Amino acid sequence: MEKIRKYTLMVTIAGLLAFGFGCSKKSPIGGGETPPPIKPVTPVKTDVSMWVTTADQFQLLNKQNVSLIFSAGSNQNTTINVDTTQTYQTIDGFGFCLSGGSAYLINSLSDAKKTALLRELFATDSTSIGISYIRITIGASDMSAGTFSYDDVAGDVSLQNFSLAKEQTDLIPILQKIIAINPNIKILACPWSAPAWMKDSNSFTGGSLKPAYFDAYANYFVKYIQGMKAAGITIDAITPQNEPLNAYNTPAMLMLSADEGSFIKNNLGPAFKTAGITTKIIVYDHNADHPEYATQILADAAANPSVDGSAFHLYGGSINALSPVHDAYPAKNIYFTEQATFQSDRFGSALAWHISNLIVGATRNWSRNVLEWVLATDANNGPHTAGGCSTCLGAVTISPEITRNVAYYIIAHASKFVRPGAVRIASDQQNTLLNVAFKNTDGSKVLIVINTSTGDQSFNLKFNSKIVTTTLPGGAVATYKW
């Protein structure tokens, strides 16, 4: 994860709350006062269900008890028309990166807390958020306690010392528990660096893969995918290198587009074919300011057949850069694979930026998924390597109590409602009511809306020539389902 962000978010997230669907944030009660008893609320009749998160955190993915009944009426409000007859890409899912550090923290919980947290994150019942896609690291990332690969024996070209033993303590057991909860979870795997001895820097930081080791490194991927499969873990896709234009993380490796294209067409693609591996190969996995990295590889007639699509982050560039890549190569898929939230981010600002640019922006620009960065961090934003990200904020903080942070709600507004296999459908984009719509395989429709203005906005949701009128506070995000 690059340390320089191209967007500005401000100050500190304060007082994030304990989790609970359908419960709003309570104002502090001073002087030992006893809160009044909560009266049961009778659900009202509604055609459309609505969940809201507000910038002030008063509501956090709260289901609203409001009657939203479709009618043939009309008014002067702004209208978002949802049209199921216009369809776009299929959705694979929404989720996070399960770093080695995240797996360690989750695995450190008591069995009861661990099970409860994993069910909350990955199950699909009413009290869960239904994460359906995760990204894991091949070897260490900067959110690991230290640097390592799966074969740190210099010169071991035949990979006789290749071993996943370092993952047997935390990552593999946690993945196995996740798969038991959601057997259809999609997993993308990605290295931050090749083994140091394969690089011209002979270090986990900086340097490039030596051409003499291209074959050995391709076989490293083969052994990894086979080893994970033996542990009951299917790797749906890989990218050859995380942030290949960023050589300054720890670990990191520079891999220019010509080198990644050569590696795919001459080594990785053939190695997968020989081993009978069907894991997808996705190129680039870096910022939207250099989409030509992906298109240069896709333009190579020898590399193109091995490539499923391209992946992007948004620490630089515009999310709108993804659509021209799709338009140039419509048969190839688009993915959004990383964006961090930070300790200094203000909740409301982060919520608005990420919903606008990623949940709405990435999917409206053809992405099949949206992944926020790290799933879990501790009270000190770790574990991380020396030189790794020391300010990245997990979706949850485990210290050892569990706090749910802004990224949790960003993803939950999509993952809980938009299920794998859904298709994006048309919806009218409005200046201060940014939105995206989907149709699930069960026929249900989902509309996600962010009110980017400072004041409340009333607007119409229109479907099949009928409307419901709804109101959304300034800075709030709502998910509507019918």
Closest by Cα among 311, 285, 289, 310 to 300 = 310
The amino acid sitting at 181 is I
Sign of CA dihedral 22, 23, 25, 26: positive
**CA 297 → CA 15, 67, 301, 319, distances in Å?**
46, 51, 9, 20
Candidates 2, 167, 260, 338; catalytic one: 338
Nearest 5°: CA angle at 138, between 134 and 144?
A: 85
Nearest 5°: CA angle at 372, between 1 and 403?
A: 105
Rg (CA), the chain: 23
Residue with tokens 């320089």: 4
Closest by Cα among 277, 276, 351, 361 to 313 = 361
User: Is 120 in the active site?
Assistant: no
User: Is 33 in the active site?
Assistant: no
Count of other CB atoms within 10 angstroms of residue 100: 24
In this structure, the chain runs to a length of 482
Pairing of strands 341-342, 466-472: unpaired
- In terms of C-beta density within 10 A (0-12 exposed, 13-18 middle, 19 or more buried), how is residue 17 classed? middle
CA–CA separation, 276 vs 291, rounded Å?
30
Candidates 2, 120, 167, 243; catalytic one: 243
DSSP 321: G
Phi, psi of 55 (to 5 degrees): -65, -30
What H or E segment, with its residue span, contains residue 296? helix 292-298
Catalytically active residues, by annotation: 243, 338
